[in-house]
Amino acid sequence: MPATVVVGAQWGDEGKGKIVDLLAQHSDVVCRYQGGPNAGHTIVVGDETFKIRAAPSGVISGKVSVIGAGCVVDPEVLIDELDELDARGIDTSKVVVSGNAHLIMPWHIAIDQASERRLGKLQIGTTRRGIGPCYADKASRIGIRVQDVLDPKILRQKIEVALAEKNVWLERVYEVEGFDLDEVATRYEGYARTLRQIVGDTSLLVDEALTAGKDVLFEGAQATLLDLDHGTYPFVTSSNPIASGAATGIGIGPTRIDRVLGVAKAYVTRVGEGPFPSEIEGSNQERLRNLGGEFGTVTGRSRRCGWLDLVALRYAVRVNGLTSLALTKLDVLSDFDELPVCVAYRLRDGSQTPHFPAHQSDFHHATPVWETLAGWREAIDGAASRMELPEPARRYVEFVERELKVPVELVGVGAGRQHVLA
Ligand code: GDP
Ligand code: IMO
Ligand code: MG
């Protein structure tokens, strides 16, 4: 089973980085297929903590680490990240970036920030890293790609064309300062020195690795419900985190993918705006946030916390074709007597459904139908196998398997690499 996609099954921050890091130990290539520095993946190895935004999580184990065509690259963030990892003794020499990946330019960040400010109460709550505006330019076919920085003449020309429009937009619509052609061109020519060394034909590289029978991991950033087409639009990111995005984002056929592992927390968190049916009311939300350390890796924002939502997870099973699940952070639930789980939604007309609503306004008004499971109130981070978990914790995991009809292959009981029960 050489090709495995690891995909977030909720609204992000499920612990994908940790699971990818673990699986990377037995893999040859790790690929990021979408997103950019909006991602924040935390990997704990021994007493070292790494926070990764741009590179695939496999970089920590010195694996071939591919940044695919479907990603957007902020060269400053990527280069700083690689420099920092190098300084910490991590071998980053096997990072390869697709020449087709789009570059986040300074005006993308400025527009992301200004448009969120302009939206006021209607804002999406983006990470303000320029993700949406960069993907918008890609779709409008006016983006600047990694391969464009390799030729200073082409780069300068493209920046000039872009600025002619972006500066008018920034100054007249958003009333903020525009950018200077020479300053931006010189800065990006500087980045080209590093990018030239790491650019490669990533579609071919992955195809050859798969053909040679190597183990390849495809790492999604963000998650199913943040997917541009299948998530809770408009409160989504601007790319396709779902599993099929791995094929388009890397440039391989969908028939090459063997397994799809969904990563879900044993509860749910969400950063940014948008409806969230199983969001906890009252003091237990803050209690769970503190117990789980639920503060954003990229922005430091408090993550909204909810009880496990099986309607949303059922949807993730469907749109990703999940073959198994990793259930992370089960240890965080050890402090509660009872654990509500959302098993269905009650809709506005009073009916109940096990399915994720197809229409935004139905989802907006959906309220959870709860089933309450017993808690266990004892630490579980020392368990060495699923059999060693207290019975209510085992039942919690089995309940998820039964409801979703998907095996839970891995259970997370702590942040470290060793804290995963197979
Ligand atoms: P990602 O974006 O999906 O990679 O997830 P983040 O790194 O943003 O957030 C997950 C957080 O939970 C990180 O701080 C991880 O170190 C931590 N974590 C991952 N798995 C577990 C687990 O099973 N138990 C606990 N207590 N923490 C975990
Ligand atoms: P990882 O990979 C959680 C959310 C933002 C916002 C929406 C759009 O660490 O799981 P964007 O900046 O992408 O245009 O913001 O998506 N968001 C994330 N939430 N984890 C992430 O990444 C996220 N990346 C984006 O909070 O609601
Ligand atoms: Mg994260």
* 3-state SS string for the chain: CCEEEEEECCCCCCCHHHHHHHHHCCCCEEEECCECCCCCEEEEECCEEEEECCCCHHHHHCCEEEECCCEEECHHHHHHHHHHHHHCCCCCCCEEEECCCEECCHHHHHHHHHHHHHHHHHCCCCCCCCHHHHHHHHHCCCCCEHHHHHCHHHHHHHHHHHHHHHHHHHHHHCCCCCCCHHHHHHHHHHHHHHHHHHEECHHHHHHHHHHCCCCEEEECCCCHHHCCCCCCCCCCCCCCCCCCHHHHHHCCCHHHCCEEEEEEECCEEECCCCCCCCECCCHHHHHHHHHHCCECCCCCCECEEECCEHHHHHHHHHHHCCCEEEEECHHHHHHCCEEEEEEEEECCCCCEECCCCCCHHHHHHCEEEEEEEECCCCCCCCCCCHHHCCHHHHHHHHHHHHHHCCCEEEEECCCECCCEEC
For residue 298, the model assigns a pLDDT of 78
What pLDDT does residue 321 have? 98
Of 21, 41, 74, 148, the catalytic one is: 41
Q: Is 28 a catalytic residue?
A: no
Which pLDDT score, from 0 to 100, does residue 399 have?
A: 98
Query: Which pLDDT does position 299 carry in this prediction?
Result: 80
Q: Which atom of ligand 2 is nearest to the CA of 273?
A: 27
Answer yes or no: 41 catalytic.
Answer: yes
Q: What is the per-residue pLDDT for 46?
A: 92
Q: Give the Å distance between the CA of 130 and the centre of ligand 2.
A: 12
At residue 166, the pLDDT reads: 97
Q: Which residue has a Cα nearest atom 27 of ligand 2?
A: 272
CB-proximal residues (5 Å) to ion ligand 3: 13, 40, 297
pLDDT value at residue 1: 57
Residue whose Cα lies nearest atom 25 of ligand 2: it is 38
Among the atoms of ligand 2, which is closest to the Cα of residue 239?
A: 13
As averages over each run of 10 residues, the pLDDT of the chain (422 residues) reads: 93 97 97 97 94 97 98 98 97 98 98 95 94 98 96 96 96 96 97 96 98 97 98 97 98 97 98 95 96 90 97 98 98 97 97 97 97 97 96 98 98 94 94
CA geometry: angle at 260 spanning 216 and 37, to 5°? Answer: 70
- Which residue in the list 13, 74, 215, 227 is annotated as catalytic? 13
The verdict on whether omega for the bond into residue 234 sits within 30 degrees of 0, i.e. cis, is yes
**What separation in Å is there between the alpha carbon of 275 and the centre of ligand 1?**
23
Nearest ligand 1 atom to the CA of 8 is 3
State in Å: Cα 237 to ligand 2 middle.
6
